A = this chain, B = another copy of it.
Amino acid sequence: MATAAAKASDSRHRFIEAAVRLFAKHSFAGTSLQMIADEVGVTKSAVHHHFRTREELIIAVIEPLQEQMQAVIEDAKAQRSRRARAERLLAGFVDLVVGHRSLVPLLAGDPGTVEMLRAHAASTDMIECQVRLLADLEPGPGGLIKARVALAGIACGLGPDVGDFDDETLRRHLLEAGRRVLGLRTPRACR
């Protein structure tokens, strides 16, 4: 028999899943707690019981992605050369994007979310860190602009109809695109 805690965790999970579907369709700003309640088939106060505001729900949605990205950054930082750091960051970022196809383009592209995320120092630091690890490959504005083009292109390039490609095809070409922008050679083992 499910305990009360297990039931609560299950509801929470259902709200998060419904939120992800609606965010992908209507953006963060265009999705209300009422819409999430309707999608799950409960009252708005049932959602309120778990998430007091839409912001709380958004944070619950993106927390696992942030943790994964933080691990990628730590791993990249531990590498010895600039190229190895950039390569590790790029590969980890591509894996994250491919693993969360529907959600990542939103995080990168929705200005409402970007603004909200900026309020969380950890998240801003993380994006700064990603950019810096890639921008290191070329001095001056060129490195910075290319780092951003690579990250944004990988994160936002997937339209809703990219679902046609399997994960491996997508991963391979996104990684190649990123490497090209940054002027990284394809490592021998991956050829």
Which residues does chain B contribute within 8 Å of A106, judged by CB atoms?
111
Known: A25-B115, A110-B110, A183-B180. A153 touches B157 (CB 8 A): yes
B141 engages A148 (CB within 8 Å) = no
| Stretch from A9-17, A40-48, A79-87, A166-174 forming part of the interface with B | A166-174
Q: How far is the CA of A177 from the CA of B108 in the complex (A)?
A: 19
- Could you list 18 further interchain pairs (A-B, Cβ under 8 angstroms) beyond the known A109-B110, A141-B169, A148-B157? A23-B111, A26-B29, A26-B115, A27-B111, A105-B111, A108-B109, A108-B156, A145-B157, A145-B177, A146-B177, A148-B153, A148-B159, A151-B157, A152-B157, A153-B154, A153-B157, A180-B183, A181-B181
Secondary structure type dominating chain A contacts: helix
Q: How far is the CA of A111 from the CA of B159 in the complex (A)?
A: 10
The residue that A25 contacts in the complex, of B108, B111, B150, B151, with Cβ under 8 A, is: B111
Classify chain A: how many residues form its interface, as a range.
Answer: 35 or more
